[in-house]
Protein backbone atom coordinates (compact mmCIF):
# COMPACT_ATOMS: atom_id res chain seq x y z
CA UNK A 1 0.00 0.00 0.00
CA UNK A 2 2.77 2.42 0.92
CA UNK A 3 4.58 1.74 -2.39
CA UNK A 4 1.46 2.55 -4.41
CA UNK A 5 0.96 5.77 -2.43
CA UNK A 6 4.54 6.78 -3.26
CA UNK A 7 3.91 6.11 -6.97
CA UNK A 8 0.67 8.13 -6.84
CA UNK A 9 2.52 10.98 -5.13
CA UNK A 10 5.24 10.94 -7.81
CA UNK A 11 2.64 10.86 -10.58
CA UNK A 12 0.80 13.81 -9.03
CA UNK A 13 4.06 15.76 -8.74
CA UNK A 14 4.92 15.00 -12.36
CA UNK A 15 1.43 16.02 -13.53
CA UNK A 16 1.60 19.27 -11.54
CA UNK A 17 4.98 20.07 -13.08
CA UNK A 18 3.69 19.44 -16.60
CA UNK A 19 0.61 21.59 -16.02
CA UNK A 20 2.74 24.41 -14.59
CA UNK A 21 5.01 24.18 -17.63
CA UNK A 22 2.08 24.42 -20.02
CA UNK A 23 0.55 27.35 -18.16
CA UNK A 24 3.52 29.70 -18.53
CA UNK A 25 2.76 33.33 -19.22
CA UNK A 26 2.84 34.22 -22.93
CA UNK A 27 5.04 37.25 -22.22
CA UNK A 28 7.68 34.95 -20.70
CA UNK A 29 7.87 33.14 -24.07
CA UNK A 30 7.81 36.35 -26.13
CA UNK A 31 10.99 37.60 -27.71
CA UNK A 32 12.36 40.59 -25.81
CA UNK A 33 13.55 42.98 -28.51
CA UNK A 34 15.71 45.84 -27.17
CA UNK A 35 15.12 49.34 -28.56
CA UNK A 36 16.98 52.62 -28.05
CA UNK A 37 17.25 56.02 -29.66
CA UNK A 38 16.12 59.61 -29.31
CA UNK A 39 13.20 61.86 -30.12
CA UNK A 40 12.71 65.59 -30.63
CA UNK A 41 9.56 67.52 -29.82
CA UNK A 42 8.81 69.21 -33.15
CA UNK A 43 5.53 70.94 -32.36
CA UNK A 44 3.26 71.92 -29.49
CA UNK A 45 -0.04 71.02 -31.15
CA UNK A 46 -2.15 72.26 -28.23
CA UNK A 47 -0.70 74.08 -25.19
CA UNK A 48 -3.49 72.70 -23.01
CA UNK A 49 -4.75 74.46 -19.93
CA UNK A 50 -2.29 76.04 -17.49
CA UNK A 51 -3.17 77.25 -14.01
CA UNK A 52 -1.50 77.84 -10.65
CA UNK A 53 -3.09 76.42 -7.52
CA UNK A 54 -3.37 78.34 -4.24
CA UNK A 55 -0.32 76.38 -3.03
CA UNK A 56 1.73 77.83 -5.92
CA UNK A 57 1.92 74.58 -7.91
CA UNK A 58 1.84 74.97 -11.70
CA UNK A 59 -0.62 72.57 -13.36
CA UNK A 60 -0.73 71.79 -17.08
CA UNK A 61 -3.62 69.72 -18.41
CA UNK A 62 -3.90 68.05 -21.81
CA UNK A 63 -0.90 69.60 -23.54
CA UNK A 64 -0.40 67.85 -26.90
CA UNK A 65 3.11 67.56 -28.35
CA UNK A 66 4.24 66.02 -31.63
CA UNK A 67 7.65 64.29 -31.55
CA UNK A 68 9.81 62.71 -34.20
CA UNK A 69 11.51 59.43 -33.14
CA UNK A 70 14.90 58.20 -34.40
CA UNK A 71 16.92 55.06 -33.71
CA UNK A 72 15.44 51.58 -33.43
CA UNK A 73 11.97 53.14 -33.56
CA UNK A 74 11.42 55.79 -36.22
CA UNK A 75 8.20 57.68 -36.68
CA UNK A 76 5.87 60.18 -35.10
CA UNK A 77 4.41 60.20 -31.61
CA UNK A 78 1.62 62.37 -30.25
CA UNK A 79 1.81 62.85 -26.49
CA UNK A 80 -1.06 64.26 -24.43
CA UNK A 81 0.48 65.17 -21.10
CA UNK A 82 -0.32 66.58 -17.70
CA UNK A 83 2.02 67.87 -15.04
CA UNK A 84 2.20 69.35 -11.60
CA UNK A 85 5.37 71.38 -10.93
CA UNK A 86 6.60 73.27 -7.88
CA UNK A 87 8.42 76.24 -9.45
CA UNK A 88 10.37 76.87 -6.23
CA UNK A 89 11.94 73.41 -5.99
CA UNK A 90 11.64 72.32 -9.62
CA UNK A 91 10.12 69.03 -8.47
CA UNK A 92 6.98 67.57 -9.93
CA UNK A 93 5.11 64.71 -11.57
CA UNK A 94 3.95 64.09 -15.11
CA UNK A 95 1.60 61.57 -16.73
CA UNK A 96 -0.39 61.11 -19.91
CA UNK A 97 -1.05 59.06 -23.01
CA UNK A 98 0.83 58.44 -26.26
CA UNK A 99 0.11 57.26 -29.78
CA UNK A 100 3.02 56.23 -32.01
CA UNK A 101 2.98 55.52 -35.73
CA UNK A 102 6.21 54.30 -37.24
CA UNK A 103 8.74 51.60 -37.99
CA UNK A 104 10.92 49.19 -36.04
CA UNK A 105 13.99 49.93 -38.15
CA UNK A 106 16.02 46.70 -37.73
CA UNK A 107 13.12 44.53 -38.98
CA UNK A 108 11.34 47.05 -41.24
CA UNK A 109 8.03 46.33 -39.49
CA UNK A 110 5.56 49.24 -39.47
CA UNK A 111 2.74 49.74 -37.00
CA UNK A 112 1.22 51.66 -34.11
CA UNK A 113 1.51 51.71 -30.32
CA UNK A 114 -0.99 53.29 -27.93
CA UNK A 115 -0.26 53.63 -24.23
CA UNK A 116 0.50 55.75 -21.21
CA UNK A 117 3.43 57.17 -19.25
CA UNK A 118 4.20 58.57 -15.82
CA UNK A 119 7.27 59.97 -14.16
CA UNK A 120 9.09 62.64 -12.22
CA UNK A 121 10.27 66.15 -12.95
CA UNK A 122 13.45 67.45 -11.32
CA UNK A 123 15.49 70.64 -11.43
CA UNK A 124 18.73 70.18 -13.37
CA UNK A 125 20.85 73.24 -14.12
CA UNK A 126 23.13 71.23 -16.42
CA UNK A 127 20.49 71.60 -19.16
CA UNK A 128 19.42 74.95 -20.68
CA UNK A 129 15.76 74.73 -19.60
CA UNK A 130 16.68 73.80 -16.01
CA UNK A 131 14.35 70.80 -15.61
CA UNK A 132 14.42 67.15 -16.68
CA UNK A 133 11.56 64.69 -17.05
CA UNK A 134 12.23 60.99 -16.30
CA UNK A 135 9.34 58.78 -17.37
CA UNK A 136 8.39 55.15 -17.89
CA UNK A 137 5.83 54.30 -20.53
CA UNK A 138 4.02 51.18 -21.68
CA UNK A 139 2.02 50.73 -24.85
CA UNK A 140 0.00 48.08 -26.66
CA UNK A 141 0.75 47.38 -30.32
CA UNK A 142 -1.70 47.53 -33.18
CA UNK A 143 -1.79 47.64 -37.00
CA UNK A 144 1.47 45.81 -37.68
CA UNK A 145 2.64 45.59 -34.05
CA UNK A 146 -0.43 43.51 -33.09
CA UNK A 147 -0.08 41.62 -29.82
CA UNK A 148 3.17 43.37 -28.89
CA UNK A 149 3.89 45.43 -25.78
CA UNK A 150 6.35 48.33 -25.73
CA UNK A 151 8.05 49.42 -22.52
CA UNK A 152 10.32 52.48 -22.58
CA UNK A 153 12.29 54.50 -20.06
CA UNK A 154 12.93 58.03 -21.28
CA UNK A 155 14.67 61.21 -20.19
CA UNK A 156 13.39 64.47 -21.67
CA UNK A 157 15.47 67.62 -21.31
CA UNK A 158 14.25 70.72 -23.12
CA UNK A 159 12.32 68.80 -25.78
CA UNK A 160 15.16 66.36 -26.58
CA UNK A 161 14.34 62.85 -25.37
CA UNK A 162 16.51 59.75 -25.13
CA UNK A 163 14.78 56.38 -24.80
CA UNK A 164 15.62 52.75 -24.17
CA UNK A 165 13.51 49.73 -23.44
CA UNK A 166 12.08 46.68 -25.10
CA UNK A 167 9.24 45.33 -27.15
CA UNK A 168 7.71 42.02 -26.12
CA UNK A 169 7.09 40.24 -29.41
CA UNK A 170 5.19 36.94 -29.01
CA UNK A 171 5.11 36.27 -32.77
CA UNK A 172 8.79 36.85 -33.60
CA UNK A 173 7.84 39.50 -36.19
CA UNK A 174 10.60 41.93 -35.18
CA UNK A 175 13.50 39.56 -35.73
CA UNK A 176 15.74 41.16 -38.38
Q: Where are the domains of the chain?
A: 28-169
Average pLDDT, integer, range 149-175: 92
pLDDT at 14 over 80: no
Host H or E run for residue 165: strand 160-169
CATH class of the domain defined by 28-169: mainly beta
d(CA 84, CA 127): 20
Phi/psi of residue 17, nearest 5 degrees: -65, -40
pLDDT for 124 equals: 93
Q: pLDDT class for 30, splitting at 50, 70, 90?
A: confident
Render pLDDT for 36-59 as a digit per residue (tens, 0 to 9).
999 999 999 999 999 999 999 999
Strand 73-85 with 131-142, pairing: unpaired
pLDDT at 2 over 60: no
Q: How far is CA 134 from the centre of its chain?
A: 12
In the chain, the percentage of residues whose pLDDT exceeds 90 is 77
d(CA 125, CA 172): 43
pTM: 0.80
Biggest CA–CA distance in the chain, Å, is: 80
Amino acid sequence: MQGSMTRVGKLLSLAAGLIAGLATDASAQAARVPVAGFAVVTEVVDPGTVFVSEEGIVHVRNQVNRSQFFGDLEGEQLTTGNLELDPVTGAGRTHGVVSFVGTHVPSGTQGTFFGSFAGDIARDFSVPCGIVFQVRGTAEGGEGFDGMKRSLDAVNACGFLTYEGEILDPSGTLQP
